[in-house]
Amino acid sequence: MSQLILGIESSCDETGVALVRAGEGGAVPVLLAHALHSQIDMHQAYGGVVPELASRDHIRRVLPLTREVLRESGEHLEDVDVVAYTRGPGLAGALLVGAGVACALGAALDKPVLGVHHLEGHLLSPFLSSDPPEFPFVALLVSGGHTQLMRVEGVGRYEILGETIDDAAGEAFDKSAKLMGLGYPGGPALSRLAEQGSATAFKLPRPLLHSGDLDFSFAGLKTAVLTQAKKLGDELPARKADLAASTEAAIVEVLVKKTLAALQKTGLKRVVVAGGVGANRHLRAQLNAACAQAKVRVHYPELHLCTDNGAMIAMAAAMRLQAGQQQPNRDYAFDVKPR
């Protein structure tokens, strides 16, 4: 029987656990069960993630979630072949919880462990969908901490084509949302509000849109949103939806145009979007329209697997093992890589 992989994600404010059965030969691994606990409600009062609270909550959640996926899948802990965990990047204390639990389970079961790169988890998360992509493809990775365009030839064969030189796309959403008093995490809230506003109400910059390369910059946009918000003053509450829609349009336009440029540069006809911002409806609509015109296939993770989760970590581990890219080990003296 092919390998059973338990995956644990704890890099930030979601605790995720999942069980994946590696595929035979070239078959895509199968997700058996996954469970998630989001800490958003807990951090909301502070306007952002409080690292120590995050770590403490991961400790509380990780074993109950592990029991939940075992129960749901009907599998037994003793039958797990490899325990995978997020090695980084992320919050050091939060990562240590997942790594510590994974290594303790591995040691107790006498099973090897495997540290997974969080972004590789996001990158490979579309393979969890019912319509998985085929290699090679261009990947647009848009999370709270990263914005990258990549050429992906296969598992572990990634070439960065361009990336942000300052803020990530998710950060641009979150920071702009904060300026508008939309709370944390602001991306989804800003996007919801944007639906009631006009995307052309305010003229906001599209940084590096015509730079000729595939890099991004979002810091200037955030400053422009702040300037606009200050200019509006008392009028801001009444114009908030318009400002939200204009901000979202600026971010999305840059993401879509640069993705098309990456497709043109590589000559590839397939694109994969991954990371939290991949849940953005406006981005999906714009990218779908642009790709339909360019005769390019677009793949997304399922909506609920766009943001952090354990399934993507178990999946990335399974795909790496299957591709012979990495061997699990019994080095239970784990370390984590916050950056």
The residues of the shown chain that bind Zn ion, judged by CB under 5 A, are 143, 308
Which among 48-56, 179-187, 260-268, 310-318 is the span making contact with ligand KG4, rule CB under 6 A?
A: 179-187
Cα separation, 60 vs 94, in Å, equals: 12
Which among 169-177, 234-242, 291-299, 324-332 is the span making contact with ligand KG4, rule CB under 6 A?
A: 169-177
Residue 95 contact among Zn ion, ligand KG4, none, beta carbon within 5 to 8 Å by kind: none
Residue 10 contact among Zn ion, ligand KG4, none, beta carbon within 5 to 8 Å by kind: none
**Total interface residues for ligand KG4 by CB under 6 A:** 19
Which among 51-59, 104-112, 170-178, 197-205 is the span making contact with ligand KG4, rule CB under 6 A?
A: 170-178
Closest alpha carbon to 6 in 31, 25, 28: 31
**Helix ranges restricted to H, 116-218:** 118-124, 169-179, 186-194
Residue 228 contact among ligand KG4, Zn ion, none, beta carbon within 5 to 8 Å by kind: none
Q: Is 197 within any annotated ligand binding site?
A: no
Q: Is 174 within any annotated ligand binding site?
A: yes
Give the count of alpha carbons within 13 A of 321, CB side only: 29
Pairing mode, strands 4-9 and 82-88: parallel
CB of 248 to ligand KG4, least distance (A): 8
CB of 139 to Zn ion, least distance (A): 14
- 310 binds ligand KG4, rule: CB under 6 A: no
Cα separation, 230 vs 59, in Å, equals: 42
CB of 183 to Zn ion, least distance (A): 19
Inter-residue contact 37 to 91 (CB < 8 Å): no
Which residue's CB is nearer to ligand KG4, number 106 or number 115?
115
Q: Is 144 within any annotated ligand binding site?
A: yes
Which among 39-47, 167-175, 205-213, 264-272 is the span making contact with ligand KG4, rule CB under 6 A?
A: 167-175
- 100 binds ligand KG4, rule: CB under 6 A: no
Cα separation, 129 vs 125, in Å, equals: 8
| Per-residue CA distances from 213 to 163, 172, 207, 210 (Å) | 10, 20, 12, 8
Nearby residues of 79 by Cβ (< 8 Å), 6 or more positions away = 4
- 55 binds ligand KG4, rule: CB under 6 A: no
Q: Is 280 within any annotated ligand binding site?
A: yes
CB of 70 to Zn ion, least distance (A): 24
Cα separation, 84 vs 102, in Å, equals: 7
- 272 binds ligand KG4, rule: CB under 6 A: no
Q: How many CB atoms lie within 10 A of CB 217?
A: 18
CB of 11 to ligand KG4, least distance (A): 7
Residue 173 contact among Zn ion, ligand KG4, none, beta carbon within 5 to 8 Å by kind: ligand KG4
Strand spans (E) along the chain:
4-9, 14-21, 30-38, 82-88, 113-117, 137-142, 147-154, 157-163, 270-274, 297-299
**H or E segment at 68?**
helix 51-73
Cα separation, 187 vs 196, in Å, equals: 15
CB of 165 to ligand KG4, least distance (A): 18
3-state secondary structure of 25: coil
Position among 106, 207, 275, 328 found at the interface with ligand KG4 (CB under 6 A): 275
Cα separation, 260 vs 296, in Å, equals: 9
**Residues contributing to the annotated binding site for substrate:** 141-145, 174, 187, 280
Binding-site residues from annotation for Fe cation: 118, 122, 308
Catalog residues that contact ligand KG4 under the rule CB under 6 A. Answer: 122, 143-145, 170, 173-174, 185-188, 191, 275-277, 279-280, 307-308
